[in-house]
Structure 1
Amino acid sequence: MPANCMEMMSGGGGLMMIGMGLIWLLVIVVLVLAAAALVKYLRSGPR
């Protein structure tokens, strides 16, 4: 019984880790795109 409980815990933990990883990846991509847009805007110069 305890082994089964541990297996379920590790399985759920693994799923959570994957979800967190995807969320962090999404956050990083958004930040990079925002930084690129900002650089582009500053390079062109405010009108």
Structure 2
Amino acid sequence: MMTNCLALMGNMSWLGWLMPLAVLSLLGLGIAALLKYLFISSSSTPGHGADS
């Protein structure tokens, strides 16, 4: 299966290499943003921070 995938990516020139990298980087950024949102929102309490 890996051989077929690499052969297909080779036939698509640069687009075959760009799209998997773009999807993986967007997925990683999405997971990082979700984790940041979950940990920042759960640890912050009202009355503490720059606004108070």
Query: In 1, Cα distance between the equivalents of 2:12 and 2:43?
Result: 46
- Decide which structure has greater helix share: 1
**Identical positions, percent:** 8
Q: RMSD of aligned C-alpha atoms?
A: 1.8
* Structure 2 spans left out of the alignment, 5+ residues: 1-9, 47-52
Higher relative contact order (CA 8 A, sep 6+): 2
What CA distance in whole angstroms lies between the structure 2 residues aligned with 1:8 and 1:31?
Answer: 36
Q: Which runs of 5+ in 1 are unaligned?
A: none
Q: Stretches of 4+ moved more than 6 A in 1? A: none
